[in-house]
Amino acid sequence: MERDVNRRRFLGASTLLIGALAGCPGGQPEETPATTPSPSPEETPTATPTPEEPMTEMGAEVTVRQESGKTVYWVLPGERRLSPTVFGTPDNPRFGADLLEFRIEQAKQLPEPLSNAIPQLLQDLPSLVAVPEQARESVDSPIAHEKLTEPTLFSDNAQITSGEFEVTYKDQRPYDRPGAPGDTPDEADLTATFTDPAENEYELQLDHIVQPPIPGYETGGGVMTGAWHHGVTGTGSPLMPKLFAYGAFWGVGNVLVNGEVATEDGFRVIHFMTTQTVRDQDYRLALDEELPLPTESTIAGRAHHTHGVVLPIRPTPDGPVFDPVPTAFELPNGNPQPFIHAMWEQEELVNSPFKQEMSG
């Protein structure tokens, strides 16, 4: 009984968001063609250190595009294996309840009103920073010792859909600074249209870049190029493996569904990132211990792909709050999917400062 109480306390609004999504379709998606050539890095640069003196401009830009007719995946809610490198073992857990409580206490030191909003957001969506032990279960796996059984947006379940996008990451500052989340010179241009498995049509309209005011996050001014995040980095959910990002941004904007603005009640948080490929041929999301994947073992035989995520977070004058994304895609239990996670598996680096080579 005590374990059940602790589990409910941990999940909070996350249970309302994804804990009630049991029964989502599983199985393996269709095989994706792996013959289209794509650029791949010869050498992975390290993240840019924070300078002692401010650098007002970096000027790095990365443009990525995928035209219509190529493979797009809509990621469904599902379980997530937990990396021992990130989350430890049942006898020696990491990124658990202690870290969550620490981040909440850090958030209470933020200026008002963030000092109230961010602690509540972390309680509602703890997977932004941690997975406490009460939410884990043992699993028989060659690498993972545990899994998060509550459905999450970082699952292995996905269906092929359609769409196209182009994004330009404009990295003007390599570090975050105190101040309002939107107070940054970093920018991004985005056009993104895609469908869900029921063929509802979506368009994302990015309004502006933000520096997420989450303790421990370092987003390079809201846009990063040539940097590492997720996993053990402290930036982004640890449920994603630590990955190299050619470009990434955090911003806010509207979601259009079937031509109509679905977010009249307010923007939602949009996170785009073009990264090393972290999906294998069965579309499993790799653990940290499994990376880097050999190019020939990735879902489309490519070295990189692009993720587009709309999180159930709505910015308000009093700070960000938990609020499901109003999608039109109905899950088997009758509820709409409360997040968007679209993945473009056959994109190309149109403009990038990183060395490239073609690989089939």
Residue 49: per-residue pLDDT: 34
Residue 59: per-residue pLDDT: 73
pLDDT digits (tens, 9 = 90+) for 206-228: 999 999 999 999 999 999 999 99
Flag the least confident range among 35-39, 76-80, 132-136: 35-39
Mean pLDDT of 109-130: 97
Residue 36: per-residue pLDDT: 32
Please determine, for residue 13, whether its predicted confidence score (pLDDT) is greater than 60.
Answer: no
Mean pLDDT of 32-60: 38
pLDDT digits (tens, 9 = 90+) for 156-182: 999 999 999 999 999 999 999 999 999
Residue 353: per-residue pLDDT: 87
Distance from C-alpha of 310 to C-alpha of 314, rounded to nearest angstrom = 10
Residue 355: per-residue pLDDT: 59
Mean pLDDT of 249-265: 98
Mean pLDDT of 37-53: 34
Mean pLDDT of 80-84: 98
* pTM, two decimal places: 0.86
Angle, nearest 10°, between helix axes 114-124 and 97-107? 160
Residue 114: per-residue pLDDT: 97
Residue 237: per-residue pLDDT: 98
Please determine, for residue 251, whether its predicted confidence score (pLDDT) is greater than 80.
Answer: yes
Mean pLDDT of 267-286: 98
Residue 149: per-residue pLDDT: 86
Residue 10: per-residue pLDDT: 40
pLDDT digits (tens, 9 = 90+) for 287-323: 999 999 999 999 999 999 999 999 999 999 999 999 9
Residue 58: per-residue pLDDT: 57
Phi-psi region of 207 (alpha: psi -120 to 50; beta: other; left: phi over 0): alpha
Distance from C-alpha of 66 to C-alpha of 345, rounded to nearest angstrom = 9
Mean per-residue pLDDT of the chain: 87
End-to-end alpha carbon distance in the chain: 54
- Measured in whole angstroms, how far is the alpha carbon of residue 307 from the centre of its chain? 7
Q: How confident is the model at residue 57 (pLDDT cuts 50, 70, 90)?
A: very low
Residue 356: per-residue pLDDT: 54
